[in-house]
């Protein structure tokens, strides 16, 4: 359990889960293919990016549900509330992209799909 928490802590901060030193991204939206420190390949197969997209989509769905519940249960005007929630979701979805991809790399590392054999 400690290992799992440690891996997700490092990946949330966009750091390599294997060496805990290398940066996972070289720019805002460009992920390194390999860790610059330990040379571990972050995504070995095509299509592994979809896991990060699923994490991002799930969080956006939770935000949308919370916005809908607020619209139904409070006296806040519905249109401004939904516009605010929609704007927040658009901004959050873009800004959380790197963290969602990094967390998926953490899932791959914990399950053994990424290892230090490179």
Could you report the per-residue pLDDT of 46-55, keeping only the tens digit for each? 777 788 899 9
Q: What is the pLDDT along the chain (118 residues), one digit of tens a residue?
A: 888 899 989 998 999 998 889 999 998 888 888 899 888 888 777 777 788 899 999 999 999 999 989 888 989 898 899 899 999 999 999 999 999 999 999 998 888 877 765 4
Contacts of 39 (CB under 8 A, 6+ apart): 118
Domain assignments of the chain as residue spans, ordered by start: 2-110
- DSSP per residue, 88-113: HHHHHHHHTHHHHHHHHHHHHHHTTS
Q: Which pLDDT score is estimated for 118?
A: 47
Rounded CA-CA distance 87/64 in Å is 11
Rounded CA-CA distance 20/41 in Å is 14
pTM over 0.75: yes
Rounded CA-CA distance 115/41 in Å is 8
């Amino acid at each position: 359990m400690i290992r799992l928490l440690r891996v997700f802590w490092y990946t949330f901060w966009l750091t390599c889960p294997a060496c805990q030193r290398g940066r996972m991204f070289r720019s805002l939206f460009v992920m390194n293919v390999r860790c610059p420190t330990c040379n571990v390949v972050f995504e070995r197969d095509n299509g592994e990016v979809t896991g990060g997209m699923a994490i991002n989509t799930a969080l956006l769905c939770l935000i949308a549900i919370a916005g809908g519940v607020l619209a139904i249960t409070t006296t806040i005007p519905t249109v401004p509330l939904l516009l605010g929630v929609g704007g927040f979701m658009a901004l959050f979805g873009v800004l959380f992209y790197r963290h969602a991809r990094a967390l998926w790399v953490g899932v791959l590392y914990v399950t053994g799909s990424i290892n230090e054999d490179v």
